[in-house]
Amino acid sequence: MTDTSPARTPHVLAAGDPGPVPAGAVLVADRLVRTDGADPAEIPCPAADLVAGELRRAGAAVVRGPLPVAAPGAPAPPGAVPAPAGAAAAVLTGTAPPAGIGLVPGPPAGGAESADPAGAARAAFAAWRAAAVPVRTVLLAAPRSFCAGVERAVEVVERALAQRGSPVYVRKQIVHNTHVVADLESRGAVFVEELDAVPEGATVVFSAHGVSPAVRSEAAARGLAVVDATCPLVTKVHTEARRYADRGDTVVLIGHAGHEEVEGTLGEAPERTVLVESAADVAALEVPDPERVSYLTQTTLAVDETAEVVDALRARFPALRGPASADICYATTNRQDALRSIAEDADLVLVVGSHNSSNSQRLVELARRGGTPAHLVDDTGDIRAAWLAGAATVGLTAGASAPPGLVEAVITALGGLGRVAVRERETTRETVRFTLPSAVRQP
Ligand code: SF4
């Protein structure tokens, strides 16, 4: 395996037996285990997630695990070590601590996997070598990650599982994050799209995004034991929707069509509520009485874009009424302010969050509108080497539904590409906490 990229001299490691790995697969070492009795016995490979992600996108079959090595750190010419005949090829890394790649010779395993695992491994190795720097600054936004509503919703499911046992059904994703959902699933939560998938009499949790009255009625009719994890700030918007509709107004809901929170809010007064997504939608709006129009917003919108829509509404309906305080929640607002403070000094912004997370998507858009390249990543494995090449300063944040540990994992992985200097910029400190619903409040 040859790496022709210039610059650093790679550490070269003699190969050992990596254990059972399918032929044609690429072993990405998450640690190097020394077989020569030297100290330290293990060398971590923090960039392993990055390398593995690159290989998976290239269609290679990836196996993660330890890679035994006999003589780490020996000097060698640029490039990687050729595979010892009949053995796993160990190859590594222009960085310290190293990212390790082992290549297990043999025909590709077939299916959708790469027809050229060696080529894929070489390309991934070269790409990450090019992204390595002596030192990289990470500007860490604060606040970031979990908000009070998400913490509460996750705790609701955990408590329901502890108190009632598995399975506990959850309608829709409890919060929009694949890792949170997978973790709760592994502990006995069963996620369903609609209530008809929940057996009669079972416990069902409503997600943080809220539900329409029709869903509540259906749950009652089916005798389900409901635990409501709707964020109190979403409940506030539902209350406003009912109040505005009851006084005879047309309720203009600013939000994204199809989002679960929007579906739930629309359901409070469907005959009196209209959805607009942009200022352009406002121009086409027809209402029975222009003197009786109120607006509401989804809680996770971009603050600046929403202000434009409200301005457009006010221009068309001067008697427009709205909530006393903004419906865009404190957590969304704080994360956007924090993002702004790092994006202007960053070469690249990474936002940790899932693709269906509205507030995470808004953070990416906000950075891009300010002229900084930005990408949404579900976890470290989504990061592309090409994004990091030339990025000496990386802005890092996470949407309100992304666990803090994923941010830590990104920082650790970047440490496999050179030293990382972390600078946190805190624009405000959050102290908001919500009480748990009574159904799960008792310990
Ligand atoms: S983002 Fe805001 S509305 Fe959504 S769960 Fe968090 S605090 Fe509640």
Domain limit, last residue, from 81, 106, 132: 132
Tell me: do 240 and 305 sit in the same domain. Answer: yes
What is the position in ligand 1's atom list of the atom closest to the CA of 432?
A: 7
pLDDT, position 59 = 86
Tell me: do 140 and 118 sit in the same domain. Answer: no
| 100-113: average pLDDT | 45
pLDDT tens readout for residues 365-408: 999 999 999 999 999 999 999 999 899 999 999 999 999 999 99
- Please give the C-alpha separations between residue 260 and each of 182, 256, 398, in angstroms, as whole numbers: 19, 9, 20
Gap between the Cα atoms of 425 and 317, Å rounded: 40
Domain that holds residue 54: 26-132
Tell me: do 31 and 125 sit in the same domain. Answer: yes
Residue 271 lies in a domain: yes
Gap between the Cα atoms of 297 and 285, Å rounded: 16
What is the position in ligand 1's atom list of the atom closest to the CA of 153?
A: 5
Domain limit, last residue, from 282, 316, 350: 316
* 114 — pLDDT class (breaks 50, 70, 90): low
CATH number of the domain where residue 263 is located? 3.40.1010.20
**Contact assessment for residue 92 and residue 98, using Cβ atoms and an 8 Å cutoff:** yes
CA-nearest residue, atom 6 of ligand 1: 149
**Contact assessment for residue 244 and residue 327, using Cβ atoms and an 8 Å cutoff:** no
* Catalytic site includes residue 277: no
Of all helices (H) and strands (E), which one includes residue 57?
helix 48-57
Domain limit, last residue, from 67, 98, 132: 132
Residue 97 lies in a domain: yes
Q: Binding site annotation covers 231?
A: yes
pLDDT tens readout for residues 33-49: 777 777 778 877 888 88
Inform me whether the pLDDT recorded for 287 exceeds 50.
yes
Give me ligand 1 centre to Cα 209, in Å: 8
Mean pLDDT, all residues of the chain: 85
Range of weakest confidence among 128-137, 197-206, 253-262, 360-369? 128-137
- Say which of 261, 308, 344, 365 is annotated catalytic: 261
Inform me whether the pLDDT recorded for 253 exceeds 50.
yes
Angle between helices 148-164 and 232-246 (to 10 degrees): 110
Q: Token pair for residue 131?
A: 């992204």
What's the number of domains the chain is made of?
A: 3
* 20 — pLDDT class (breaks 50, 70, 90): low
